[in-house]
A and B are shown apart, each in its own frame.
Chain A
Amino acid sequence: DAMVIQNPRYQVTQFGKPVTLSCSQTLNHNVMYWYQQKSSQAPKLLFHYYDKDFNNEADTPDNFQSRRPNTSFCFLDIRSPGLGDAAMYLCATRRAGGTDTQYFGPGTRLTVL
């Protein structure tokens, strides 16, 4: 089945230690998104790629970076995680010009010690 995959599902890192979260998709969608969701809150968009074009949200901290080496993969890099970065990170994809529906992966729950 076509899907959005996120690895790992659970990630523990130390304060200040860089961490990379991974997202892959078999849907061949051209748009990929990263969201941050803190406890009991709605997901918050960090950035998205439209093909290779990177689009950062204005309030996304510089601590968060992203890479998209090809259509299938997208990475979220947190350069120096703080305690406030502990959250669920959700990847989503969309086929632009299609149904415009975003399909989400299972998420990676990040713990910062």
Chain B
Amino acid sequence: AQKVTQAQTEISVVEKEDVTLDCVYETRDTTYYLFWYKQPPSGELVFLIRRNSFDEQNEISGRYSWNFQKSTSSFNFTITASQVVDSAVYFCALSEAQYGNNRLAFGKGNQVVVIP
């Protein structure tokens, strides 16, 4: 069973529009961590945010914001006023304490295309 689901495969938006990427996870652990990574065309996975299971506080960093809701097992990511540089694949990932936090279960990724 897939532990991290990112349903939208490719999302196209016009520059300056907002885009929200959905991430739904599944775990039986009470202690776990959720991550978002950005992968631009160059290939490097760039860390964006980490959230532990005990911290449901939402976060804003510039044009990026994250909404973590344990009740729905979701950790959604919004890019406000998108720019062409936001074009990339975005991965949501889960690490669980039962594996010593040594495994990142990735979703399939969201390909975001920002059209100028």
Contacts and interface: CB of A to CB of B under 8 A. Distances in A.
B47 to A, nearest CB: 6
B70 interface: no
Contact of B109 (A33, A42, A100, A104): A42
Interface stretch (A20-28, A61-69, A78-86, A105-113): A105-113
Interface residues of B, number: 21
Interface in B93-114: 95, 100-104, 106-109
A75 interface: no
B75 interface: no
B77 interface: no
A50 interface: yes
A104 B33 contact: no
26 contacts: A41-B108, A42-B106, A42-B108, A43-B45, A43-B91, A43-B104, A43-B106, A45-B103, A45-B104, A48-B102, A50-B100, A90-B43, A90-B45, A94-B102, A96-B101, A99-B50, A100-B33, A100-B50, A100-B101, A101-B35, A102-B104, A104-B44, A104-B45, A104-B46, A106-B43, A107-B44
